[in-house]
Amino acid sequence: MVVSGVADLPRPDNQAAGIGDGKHGFGLELPPSHSVFDGRPGGEVEGSACRLPYRNEETFVVPAPPLITFGAADIVNNCNLRCPFCVVDYSEVKKTELMTQATFGRLLELLPLLPDAGFWLSCLHEPTIHPGFEELLGMIPAGQGQKFWFTTNLARRMDDAMFQSWVDAGLHHVNVSLDTLDAELFTVLRKHGRLEVLLDNLNRMVRVFRASANAPRIRFISMVFESNFAEMEGIVRRCHEEWMSTEHEIRYMYNVAHVTDEFRQVHLLTRDRWPELSARLKDLAAPHVVICPPDEDYEEQRINPSDDFELTCFQLPAGPPDFTPPLKLRARHNGNIFLVGQEGRFSANVGTLADPAGFVRQAVREWQESSPAKSAR
């Protein structure tokens, strides 16, 4: 048996037809281990030999669960800003490199393996600096837009046609990073950015989105520091009331090693300040989630930058990559794909794969076949 459950969901159609009390419905999903399963499962009542036919068939096709949880792609390798808290260490990035349409096209071949909101157009960097961003969005197949989203600093001046292209692509959502509404502090936290430009972009983006019934949802991410602590309640409220926020993530700074001690001393919000922040935001009507720092050693810890795998190719003990589904993939602007957390163990370039989706399916199949215990996970 692969999956079981209780058949107690309402079936008013059966009841109306005089069959039972109308509570015999069930809904089951195949587990991730069956994401490459291509047989036809059947159903039966536990403890009896009674098969449950579906449309008069004893076995039937059920949708496979997504093989990949997400594909965290970046269409560029750089950013237009240099925020002093950034998870990315840009010290070695001297030149902006862009994903080509050909590479993006190959990545799109992975779409059948991805769920809604599973394809990220930015993970580490700033997607709007890609001069062909609108053209890439235009390549998203009709009806597949809900699989895509990205995060932006809205720091580059953009015209309404750009925001319209986000609507037309049918994106799932757009994350906007907004940490302060104080113009002076903005220049410190979002180095090389200007609050005036962000607000102009944001106001016009919201206007364009409001004019469409199918616009992407807008989420906000605010980093909290000692320096913007007092503003946070007002920012969350304003984003909801004025800028269509459907969710607001209030986030601690991952304490990355390359952030300067000077920045930490002035801005870092220490662990003891978070209960007060949560209490201040608790009763807000605006939908929000507070992501607090870890309990232990938050101030003392120094973690590696998120682009560490690009710089050092991530050292892991020797061994084969673990292809237990569902997979988490990264994709760089040049088409290199990795397994998240196992970057040094597995990488391939989508440009060299005849069939990227078939390649991933096959890798999972071979992994499962190499040990039956793996496919049962």
Ligand X SMILES: C[S@@+](CC[C@H](N)C(=O)[O-])C[C@H]1O[C@@H](n2cnc3c(N)ncnc32)[C@H](O)[C@@H]1O
Residues of this chain that interact with ligand SF4 (CB under 6 A) are: 79, 81-83, 86, 88, 125-126, 153
Task: Supply the minimum distance, in Å, between the C-beta of residue 160 and ligand X.
Answer: 20
Closest residue to ligand X, judged by C-beta, is: 177
Among the listed residues 33, 69, 78, 153, the single contact to ligand X using CB under 6 A: 153
Query: How buried is residue 302: exposed, middle or buried, by Cβ count under 10 Å (0-12/13-18/19+)?
Result: exposed
Using CA atoms, how far residue 98 sits from 126, 193, 332, 333, in Å, is: 11, 21, 10, 6
**Part in contact with ligand X (CB under 6 A); list of ranges 14-22, 28-36, 85-93, 192-200:** 85-93
Q: Please name which of 103, 36, 65, 118 lies closest in space to residue 358, comparing C-alpha atoms.
A: 36
| Count of residues in contact with ligand X, rule CB under 6 A | 19
Among the listed residues 35, 69, 77, 177, the single contact to ligand X using CB under 6 A: 177
Residue type, 354: A
Task: Supply the minimum distance, in Å, between the C-beta of residue 86 and ligand SF4.
Answer: 3
**Cβ-based neighbours of 86, under 8 Å, separated by 6 or more:** 79, 256
- Select from ligand SF4, ligand X, none the partner in contact with residue 82, using the beta carbon and a kind-dependent cut-off of 5 to 8 Å: ligand SF4
Q: Residue 251, interface with ligand X (CB under 6 A)?
A: yes
Task: Supply the minimum distance, in Å, between the C-beta of residue 322 and ligand SF4.
Answer: 29
Q: What is the full DSSP assignment across 224-266?
A: --TTTGGGHHHHHHHHHHHS-EEEEEEEPPP-BTTS-HHHHHH
Task: Supply the minimum distance, in Å, between the C-beta of residue 186 and ligand X.
Answer: 13
Task: Supply the minimum distance, in Å, between the C-beta of residue 155 and ligand SF4.
Answer: 7
Q: Residue 375, interface with ligand X (CB under 6 A)?
A: no
| Closer by beta carbon to ligand SF4, 155 or else 327 | 155
Task: Supply the minimum distance, in Å, between the C-beta of residue 326 and ligand SF4.
Answer: 27
**Cβ-based neighbours of 261, under 8 Å, separated by 6 or more:** none
Q: What is the full DSSP assignment across 44-96?
A: B-TTS--B--BTTBSB---PPPPSEEEEEE-SBS--S---TT-SS-GGG--S-
Among the listed residues 98, 107, 167, 253, the single contact to ligand X using CB under 6 A: 253
Task: Please give the order of strands across the beta sheet that includes 347-349.
Answer: 288-291, 245-251, 217-223, 173-177, 148-152, 119-120, 68-73, 327-331, 336-339, 347-349
Q: Residue 308, interface with ligand X (CB under 6 A)?
A: no
Among the listed residues 62, 117, 197, 221, the single contact to ligand X using CB under 6 A: 221
105, 132 Cβ separation under 8 angstroms: no
| Closer by beta carbon to ligand X, 256 or else 364 | 256
Task: Supply the minimum distance, in Å, between the C-beta of residue 248 and ligand X.
Answer: 11
Query: Helix 232-242 and helix 274-281: axis angle, to 10°?
Result: 30
136, 75 Cβ separation under 8 angstroms: yes
| Closer by beta carbon to ligand SF4, 76 or else 215 | 76
For residue 272, what is the DSSP state?
G
Among the listed residues 256, 290, 350, 360, the single contact to ligand X using CB under 6 A: 256
Looking at residues 88 to 107 of the shown chain, list those that interact with ligand X (rule: CB under 6 A): 88
**Part in contact with ligand X (CB under 6 A); list of ranges 86-94, 131-139, 206-214, 358-366:** 86-94
Among the listed residues 33, 78, 122, 342, the single contact to ligand X using CB under 6 A: 122
Task: Supply the minimum distance, in Å, between the C-beta of residue 298 and ligand X.
Answer: 12
Residues that bind ligand X (CB under 6 A): 79, 85-88, 122, 124-126, 151-153, 177, 221, 223, 251, 253-254, 256
